[in-house]
Structure 1
């Protein structure tokens, strides 16, 4: 196996390897995992593998999770089918910078995404290095967000388009999660800026140290949250991947965010994703 770094900030492409082999080779898998921690997202071409191999490789990282909205393949639990067709209304939840399922108490540690069918043009995905995004924050902002926590909501994202009864039922099933604004990566010890499109508000901003009067709270907190979320959109932190059939991306969901570019309708775009259950951020 060889690899080529794709940008100075994030991403590497693996060469001369198949994930089917890596699913059965402990040493090869360990090498891939080490590269994932170093580069945060890995890419492969020409991975004409079975769904069983896709699942088996992802399960080397840990148990897979289902998705309450997208659902899983009937024969392969944990393999979520993200299929878009010309006759579907465009869902807008993907074209925002996000880490997957941070509305869970324990968001995924990572994902393995394979392209089944892609548009002739368009449909790229971008990833951003959120360790670098934190490192590059001005020191006064780092001091301001130290110890801050934020709510992440499936109700305000996936649930927003549902009738009120179904939206409230979804929230009852998945109450808003609260996470630190700056989390510690459990394997590398790095600090990660950990707010994204699922974050709705800070939960402990309104304190005497931060707020002079009540009217400071709403604009002060909202503007700071918007500023932090916007850091993922800085090009110097990003890599952009053009999909082809049987291309694969493997990403560390703890230290990255991603954005699926919605520039391909009306046409088919079919992806299959295995999300690996993660830990509670601290």
Structure 2
């Protein structure tokens, strides 16, 4: 296996390996897992991989879960199909910085994404290192956000375009989750900035320590959250991957965010993703 770092802070391409071989090889699987923890997101080209092997490999990391807003197209058990053709409407929710399904009480641990078809130009995906984003925060901001929590909402994101009755039903099925603004990675011990496009507001900011009269500090509360969310947009924390058919990305959803670049004209783009169930984020 050859490991080629792609940036100073995140991302590596692993060459000379077929991930399907890790289905039955503990040594290979453990090395791939170690590389993911080290680089946050790892990439592979030219993977001779069936959908069934894709799902079997991903299950080595843990149980898989579906997504309530899976895109159209053919479905494979254990995989979410992300499909667009010439008639598909743009999905503005993909081209926003986020970690997958943080609107669940138990978000995903990681994901394995394979490119089935893609445009000749465009449709890249970007990832950001949110541990580095936290590390570089000014010390007074770290002190200010220590102990804060935010709400993460499917209703205010995927559900926003639904009729009100459907939106309320979606929230009843998936109530807003509350997570710490800063979490501790359960395996590396790193501190991670854990806010994204799904974060709607702080839930415990409005205290006597932060507010003197009524809502006088509330505007600052919103500015602070927006500034934290925008940390993912800093180029020094990012890596950008250009897809080819049979390319694969594996990322740690606990310490990264990603952004699907929607710069390609109406064309066929099909991706298949396996999402691995994680554990509840903690400070």
1:221: how far off?
A: 1.3
Q: Which moved more, 1:84-93 or 1:108-117?
A: 84-93
TM-score by length of 2: 0.97
Structure-2 residue corresponding to 1:249:
249
Contact kept, 8 Å, 1:73 with 1:80, in 2: the verdict is: no
Q: Which moved more, 1:173-182 or 1:16-25?
A: 16-25
Structure-2 residue corresponding to 1:175:
175
Contact kept, 8 Å, 1:121 with 1:264, in 2: the verdict is: yes
Structure-2 residue corresponding to 1:22:
22
CA distance in 2, matches of 1:74, 1:117: 13
User: Where in structure 1 do 4 or more consecutive aligned residues deviate above 6 Å?
Assistant: 71-75
User: Which ranges of structure 2 fall in alignment gaps of 5 or more residues?
Assistant: none
Aligned length: 282
Contact kept, 8 Å, 1:72 with 1:80, in 2: the verdict is: no
Structure 1 segment 1-282 matched on structure 2, within 5 A:
1-70=1-70, 76-282=76-282
Residues 42-98 of structure 1 show CA distances to partners (whole Å, capped at 9, x for unaligned) of 000001200111001110100000101116987743200000112111110011100
Aligned to 1:94, the other structure's residue is in SS state coil
Note closer, same or farther for the CA distance 1:76–1:25 as it changes in structure 2 (3 Å cut): same
CA distance in 2, matches of 1:47, 1:183: 34
1:267: how far off?
A: 1.0
CA distance in 2, matches of 1:141, 1:72: 42
Residues 139-167 of structure 1 show CA distances to partners (whole Å, capped at 9, x for unaligned) of 00000000000000000000011111111
CA distance in 2, matches of 1:78, 1:214: 49
CA distance in 2, matches of 1:105, 1:72: 26
Aligned to 2:64, the other structure's residue is in SS state coil
Contact kept, 8 Å, 1:125 with 1:242, in 2: the verdict is: yes
User: Which ranges of structure 1 fall in alignment gaps of 5 or more residues?
Assistant: none
1:22: how far off?
A: 1.2
CA distance in 1, matches of 2:119, 2:167: 32
1:266: how far off?
A: 1.1
CA distance in 2, matches of 1:214, 1:109: 39
1:232: how far off?
A: 0.3
Contact kept, 8 Å, 2:78 with 2:274, in 1: the verdict is: yes
CA distance in 1, matches of 2:149, 2:60: 31
Contact kept, 8 Å, 1:72 with 1:78, in 2: the verdict is: no
CA distance in 1, matches of 2:274, 2:216: 43
